Structure 1
């Protein structure tokens, strides 16, 4: 394995030492170009030295396998990916910092001018956000000069992988909880970083949740943040003002009628006292929240005491737990989703070269083989339900004749979003994406939507793609035989 020198920006002088010790580690748009893996830059330097950097290349982003017990994924994160491509550039200070590492001492001078002058000038084909997809289907294809298509891999994988995971979890939660239940995103404190908390909130809302407690995310998205209170307020005001009831009264003084957290001490006793005040007209109450205990039993008892008050629950909930609560007859109107929504099984999306300078290419590695050529996904419907997908070549005008006998309609999924570096489609609102998510999930067969042992929609390989794969395999095998003869 090649050994590289220290990978921090700086080497030994005092100013560079200070740069290395910058602990803020926040990201702004100007940093996007450096938010990448080192090997993207070393490969671009190599391409440049070999005179290949401007060759037209096509890369596709897809997942080989869905996370365990997932029957589908909801594509998400494209908006942030396109924003990244729009702002992609290297400023002089970043180039100076890269040069100071010493890693690129043997890189050609043209590598530095390429970075200094370059902007993204390629095309992007993608599946619209909120669309259900399956294994081996491209969520996105980048067609651009090789150096550009290579360098953008890391950031695109970061945003599409994470947001697709959160959007899928949110869509499953909405599917299980039903449209009547209120679903709130509470995951900021458990997300993997401050940046991830913003993306998680966006993806959760686009996936079907009603609101987020993340104030920054909500306001940036034009939404209204939502939340209740923590046990700390109840304990602090109870200690200072004399009782839990006085804590509730104080909170309502500033937030009239707001939901109250009632499980700090004795859930049922608190509900009984609140019921007396509500029934006497002394208090108006929009809802109560339960965060611990036997939620089935407690919700039923609270419902009997406060029949007209919404019951909201939280505490490490996921789609399986909501399904269990509903099956047990819990009296719950809304759910707060945090840790298990914003963490969990990763979406292992990959970004692979499929064509270079018009030549289809494919990976042969065991368990990681890819299909060559630029592709399109053709979705077939029977009535209003998805019947099957066909993975074909981008220039196919129609599918195999065998498909037409049992499908009523076929729709190509990948759309052109960027042409020669410029967007060709307007930005979508969160409401539009949320609506597409709901419609996409509703179009899936029940066996694909179930939580346990789901069956994904069948993805067929078109005859033309199959033929191209076989042809490419033979060409690669012949090349390897020639190389062995020459080396022997």
Structure 2
């Protein structure tokens, strides 16, 4: 465990430390690993693929994200003597073979990782990532990989859809920290949102860590507090501008039209400079048009439970809104239900045959067809058929490339989305994935289906 004093970390779990990564898994990953050791299967080379059987409702594509954190996790996987003792103290592993504990004590990921680059558009049943490693290692890492890749892929995809709907010129800010599923999730959401197409985040730690300028305005509480103490909403605005001259102002704490009218008088009299105003509630179509007529040279920024459908509605109504703050519906909502399934062990292809949950066997590759810069179709085939979208990013436990700058990942996401047909980019997509199976994969699948 970490050297941080127990009193600083318990009973509340305040942070995630990289030295704790080994235990950040589901119990059954460890019990299965112990069983593999007992049955002398732990060293068998296994291949697992991470993919989504189907996409969230109305999604035509996903933007793969989270590989950087996945590789960092694999780099740092370990078990300390204290952690092993804690596992032994549970009594759950009373019958586990002694060599299981020896494996944990010397644990290090030694396998290969194949993955599509972050920012790549992918479809149902296409692997985002493949692990090829000794069976016990490949099994153990499932939980963390699904956690970081599923969540970041969801956020990056939502961000890409929001950018596609709002247009290239709109300012899109990630405001979701207070609604994300915990502090670490907030950091990952900010990263994935920027990589997927948003401009920056209000999360100060995330922005500065990622090399971006944090962005935000003010909350209603400032207007209410200073207004109550100094007598008016305008007093609050003047106070804020004393320290942040020209900053956008939140004008819908009370009456947005009255606030805009008073601000217009001050702008006309040369008393203040105003770069923008934010509307956080109400009928944004009507309010934005009214405010624009009062403050024609001031940018209007909107927030308040917005998503791609709300932005599409605002744009179709020609609402004069220049930017959007995206929070709750960006960082929550329908999950990406990625799964992690065994596709080969000891050179023997495997498949799951459960109704509704069938998987395709063997190590696979994605072969993408692009014509004149435009996507036409994908073929999901066997890895032995040639080179494709999945690249070797870790070999024998060693990273093959440094982390990519977020700007490179974002540019890739932009390019991938722009290459897709409009029907796939439609936010109400109801079609089928543009993916065909190679003859070799069809033949292998049928052969395993026919086998008892």
Indicate the residue corresponding to 2:366 in structure 1: 377
Could you tell me how far apart the structure 2 residues matched to 1:337 and 1:455 are?
Answer: 27
The gaps in structure 2 that reach 5 residues or longer are none
1:172 aligns with 2:171: no
Which structure: larger Rg? 1
**How many residues end up aligned between the 2 structures?**
448
Residue 473 of structure 1: CA displacement? 2.4
The gaps in structure 1 that reach 5 residues or longer are 1-8, 10-16, 398-410, 478-488
Match of 1:427 among 400, 403, 407: 403
Q: Spell out, residue by residue over 1:118-155, the C-alpha distance to the aligned partner (whole angstroms, 9 max, x if none).
A: 20010000010111100000000000111110000000
Residue 18 of structure 1: CA displacement? 9.2
1:340-355 counterparts in 2 under 5 A?
340-355=329-344
1:142 aligns with 2:118: no
Could you tell me how far apart the structure 1 residues matched to 2:207 and 2:164 are?
Answer: 23
Could you tell me how far apart the structure 2 residues matched to 1:278 and 1:179 are?
Answer: 29
- Contact kept, 8 Å, 2:64 with 2:156, in 1: the verdict is yes
SS at match of 2:385: coil
Residue 25 of structure 1: CA displacement? 4.6
In structure 2, do the counterparts of structure 1 residues 254 and 310 end up closer, same or farther at CA, with 3 Å as the change threshold? same
Indicate the residue corresponding to 1:466 in structure 2: 442
- Contact kept, 8 Å, 1:72 with 1:456, in 2: the verdict is no
Residue 382 of structure 1: CA displacement? 2.5
- Contact kept, 8 Å, 2:300 with 2:320, in 1: the verdict is yes
Q: Spell out, residue by residue over 1:443-464, the C-alpha distance to the aligned partner (whole angstroms, 9 max, x if none).
A: 0000000111343541110011
- Contact kept, 8 Å, 1:211 with 1:224, in 2: the verdict is yes
- Contact kept, 8 Å, 1:386 with 1:457, in 2: the verdict is no
Could you tell me how far apart the structure 2 residues matched to 1:457 and 1:100 are?
Answer: 48
Between stretches 301-310 and 466-475, larger displacement belongs to: 466-475
Indicate the residue corresponding to 1:30 in structure 2: 19
Residue 73 of structure 1: CA displacement? 0.5
- Contact kept, 8 Å, 2:202 with 2:214, in 1: the verdict is yes
1:68 aligns with 2:68: no
Indicate the residue corresponding to 2:201 in structure 1: 212
Indicate the residue corresponding to 1:437 in structure 2: 413
Q: What TM-score, normalized by structure 1, do the two folds share? A: 0.90
SS at match of 1:62: strand
Match of 2:257 among 247, 262, 268: 268
How well do the aligned residues superpose, as a CA RMSD in angstroms?
1.6
Could you tell me how far apart the structure 2 residues matched to 1:160 and 1:456 are?
Answer: 23
- Contact kept, 8 Å, 1:73 with 1:134, in 2: the verdict is yes
Indicate the residue corresponding to 2:142 in structure 1: 153
- Contact kept, 8 Å, 2:124 with 2:433, in 1: the verdict is no
1:218-237 counterparts in 2 under 5 A?
218-237=207-226
Q: Spell out, residue by residue over 1:69-90, the C-alpha distance to the aligned partner (whole angstroms, 9 max, x if none).
A: 0000000011100000000010
Could you tell me how far apart the structure 1 residues matched to 2:8 and 2:14 are?
Answer: 11
1:189 aligns with 2:178: yes
Q: What TM-score, normalized by structure 2, do the two folds share? A: 0.97
Between stretches 217-226 and 90-99, larger displacement belongs to: 217-226
- Contact kept, 8 Å, 2:368 with 2:388, in 1: the verdict is yes
Indicate the residue corresponding to 1:40 in structure 2: 29
- The higher relative CO (CA closer than 8 Å, separation ≥ 6) is in 2
- Contact kept, 8 Å, 1:73 with 1:133, in 2: the verdict is yes
Residue 286 of structure 1: CA displacement? 1.1
Could you tell me how far apart the structure 1 residues matched to 2:142 and 2:43 are?
Answer: 17
Residue 307 of structure 1: CA displacement? 1.4
SS at match of 1:27: coil
Residue 20 of structure 1: CA displacement? 11
Indicate the residue corresponding to 1:400 in structure 2: none
- Contact kept, 8 Å, 1:389 with 1:457, in 2: the verdict is no
Could you tell me how far apart the structure 1 residues matched to 2:416 and 2:426 are?
Answer: 15
